[in-house]
Amino acid sequence: MLVLSRRADESIVIQPAEGADASMTLAELFANGPILITLLGGTGRRVKMGIEAPEQLAIRRKDIG
């Protein structure tokens, strides 16, 4: 599980992982299961979330290229 903290108006990006076959269909990308996002807590304007996704998908904070 990847754990990220985000503030109001900050984003995450979910995209095919580097090295993933660009011709994969959505069904193939999600063949090993769905994306699961669990809210783990929050304080003020910050939320901590845990994200589980198939290995074919990369999850990054939007501010990190």
User: Which CATH number characterizes residue 38's domain?
Assistant: 2.60.40.4380
pLDDT tens for each residue of 27-54? 988 888 999 999 999 999 999 999 999 9
pTM of whole model > 0.85?
Answer: no
The mean pLDDT of 5-18, rounded to a whole number, is 91
Alpha helices by DSSP H, listed for 1-65, are 26-29
Helix (H, G, I), strand (E, B) or coil at 55: coil
Q: What is the CB-side half-sphere exposure of residue 51 using CA atoms within 13 A?
A: 20
Q: What is the pLDDT of residue 31?
A: 87
Domain containing 38 equals 2-61
The mean pLDDT of 6-22, rounded to a whole number, is 90
- Mean pLDDT, the chain, rounded, equals 90
Task: Count the domains in the chain.
Answer: 1
Report the alpha-carbon distance of residue 30 to residue 45 in Å, rounded: 31
